[in-house]
């Protein structure tokens, strides 16, 4: 890719790297942070952060999107840097997510500058001083990249908290990792994990508003298994088949990465079903088309968890074991899939247990409709802003949310802290 590779981090970032020894090293190091063997260790603080989301929704439900962004960012910040994010006003959220969303908007070849350089690569050869369409891309700075500074700060902190940044710096001399490589390893975790997970939860809210009948079935299951005096836990998962199906349908119905993330490319010429695919040709998986195929998913735009319940007349066999392909394929399947699935399950289970999520009403008390096709336009997508009503299901549940939320804040206090860096000012103040 011209913009995101040749003019960006290039072969220092796993996303852009050609397959080989260095790529395998980066993949291995990413698994040190969010691999399947690691993510079970994160359940306690993931669970506590989702309890804080429920508490926040009681006191300020109108800002539900910001609460989701704080939650997702805080989880990956604890993993990456040993430090939680306590407020949705923290610049580390607003700035990083804004950058991620801007990148997703731009990362559509031919849509606009600078991405027209993907369609017309010769435009990238012009020097920056005479090429305003490059937006400054391709300039090699001499200072420390932003996420390197964050990782270094965490790795050298006197805090006893173990975190991914410390693991990276322990391994860096052995593998001769450059500053850009360290920045990419920590930044990929932080940037991708915050925007995508929060977008999935916003989609969940939209589905509840548009298809309220699906919540009633979930309430019945949760009331039977959990009751009002505690919220769901990971241990409840085997007894909540409909809630698990609900989560699967959220992933399928409106997948965040609608074309499977970054493009792949074959490392040698290939032929497939009569098509000749030359080496290095972009190959993009169309997740939207797969997830909306009438054969596997009749009425694909209807949000229907029963597609995934065993014995249901509406279920269909699907080629993928999980029933969806939200996280991509092959060697480059999303490294954070296990973390995302784990966190999405516990958060959706808790929100279904705790709240009525309904369409907003106007000044005359009439419900305001939602548009299930009104999404952002980019490589990653999320619903455009919409209003809704999020209220506790009953007083007993409200009291439980308050009690558990306050306890969660106490348990999470071990991760309290703040970074001295701000993305908006970092490059202006960093000494070269």
Position 92 scores a pLDDT of 80
Least confident stretch, 17-21, 77-81, 151-155, 319-323? 319-323
Taking residues 319-346, what's their average pLDDT? 92
pLDDT band at 247 (very low <50, low <70, confident <90, very high): very high
167-178 pLDDT, tens digit per residue, is: 999 999 999 999
Least confident of 203-207, 244-248, 335-339: 335-339
CATH number at residue 364: 1.10.630.10
Asked if residue 348 has pLDDT above 80, the reply is: yes
Taking the C-alpha atoms of 203, 208, 209 and 213 in order, what is their torsion angle to the nearest 10 degrees?
Answer: 150
SS3 readout for the chain = CHHHHHCCCHHHCCCCCCCCHHHHHHHHHHHHHHCHHHHHHHHHHHHHHHHHHHHHHHHCHHHHHHHHHHHHHHHHHHHHHCCCCCCCCCHHHHHHHHHHHHHHHHCCCCCCCCCHHHHCHHHHHCCHHHCHHHCCCCCCCCCCCHHHHHHHHHHCCCCCCCCHHHHHHHHHHHHCCCHHHHHHHHHHHHHHHHHHHHHHHHHHHHHHHHCCHHHHHHHHHHHHHCCCCCCCCHHHHHHCHHHHHHHHHHHHHCCCECCCCCCECCCCCEEECCEEECCCCCECCCHHHHHCCCCCCCCCCCCCHHHHCCCCCCCCCCCCCCCCCCCCCHHHCCCCHHHHHHHHHHHHHHHHHHEEEEECECCCCCECCCCCCCECCCCECCECCCCEEEEECCHHHHHHHHHHHHHHHHHHHHHCCCCCCCHHHHHHHCCC
* Position 237 confidence tier, pLDDT thresholds 50, 70, 90: very high
Judged against a pLDDT cut of 50, whether residue 432 lies above it is answered with: no
Residue 267 near residue 279, CB atoms below 8 Å = yes
Overall average pLDDT of the 100-118 stretch: 70
Lowest mean pLDDT segment, chosen from 119-128, 286-295, 297-306 = 119-128
Structural domain including 272 reads: 2-429
Can you tell me the mean pLDDT for 57-73?
Answer: 96
The tally of domains found in the chain comes to: 1
Greater model confidence, 131 or 354: 354
Query: What is the per-residue pLDDT for 240?
Result: 98
């Amino acid at each position: 890719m011209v913009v995101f590779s040749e003019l960006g981090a290039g072969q220092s970032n796993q996303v852009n790297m050609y397959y080989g020894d260095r790529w395998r090293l980066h993949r291995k190091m990413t698994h040190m942070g969010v691999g399947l063997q690691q993510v079970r260790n994160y359940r306690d603080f993931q669970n506590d952060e989702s309890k804080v989301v429920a508490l926040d929704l009681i006191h300020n439900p109108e800002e539900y999107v910001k609460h989701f962004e704080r939650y997702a960012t805080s989880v990956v910040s604890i993993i990456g840097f040993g430090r939680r994010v306590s407020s949705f006003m923290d610049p580390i959220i607003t700035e990083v997510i804004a950058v991620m969303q801007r990148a997703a908007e731009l990362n559509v070849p031919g849509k606009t500058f600078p991405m027209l350089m993907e369609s017309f690569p010769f435009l990238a050869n012009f020097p920056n001083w005479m090429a305003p369409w490059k937006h400054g891309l391709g300039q090699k700075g001499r200072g420390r990249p932003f996420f390197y500074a964050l990782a270094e700060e965490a790795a050298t902190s006197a805090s006893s908290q173990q975190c991914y940044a410390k693991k990276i710096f322990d391994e860096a001399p052995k593998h001769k990792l450059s500053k850009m490589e360290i920045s990419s390893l920590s930044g990929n975790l932080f940037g991708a994990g915050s925007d995508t997970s929060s977008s999935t939860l916003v989609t969940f809210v939209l589905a509840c508003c548009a298809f309220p009948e699906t919540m009633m079935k979930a309430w019945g299951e949760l009331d039977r298994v959990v009751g009002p005096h505690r919220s769901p836990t990971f241990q409840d998962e085997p007894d909540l088949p409909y809630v698990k199906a609900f989560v699967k349908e959220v992933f399928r119905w409106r997948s965040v990465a609608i074309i499977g993330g970054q493009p792949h490319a074959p490392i040698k010429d290939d032929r497939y079903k009569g098509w000749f695919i030359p080496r290095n040709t972009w190959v993009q998986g169309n997740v939207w088309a797969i997830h909306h195929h009438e054969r596997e998913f009749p009425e694909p735009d209807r949000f229907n968890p029963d597609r995934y319940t065993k014995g249901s007349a509406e279920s269909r066999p699907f080629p993928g074991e999980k029933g969806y392909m939200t996280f991509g394929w092959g060697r480059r399947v999303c490294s954070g899939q296990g973390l995302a699935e784990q966190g999405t399950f516990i958060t959706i289970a808790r929100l279904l247990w705790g709240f009525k999520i309904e369409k907003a009403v106007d000044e005359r008390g009439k419900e305001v409709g939602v548009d299930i096709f009104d999404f952002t336009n980019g490589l990653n997508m999320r619903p455009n802003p919409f209003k809704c009503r999020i209220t506790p299901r009953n007083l007993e549940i409200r009291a439980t949310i308050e009690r558990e939320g306050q306890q969660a804040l106490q348990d999470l206090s071990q991760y309290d802290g703040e970074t001295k860096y701000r993305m908006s000012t970092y490059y202006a103040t960093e000494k070269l």
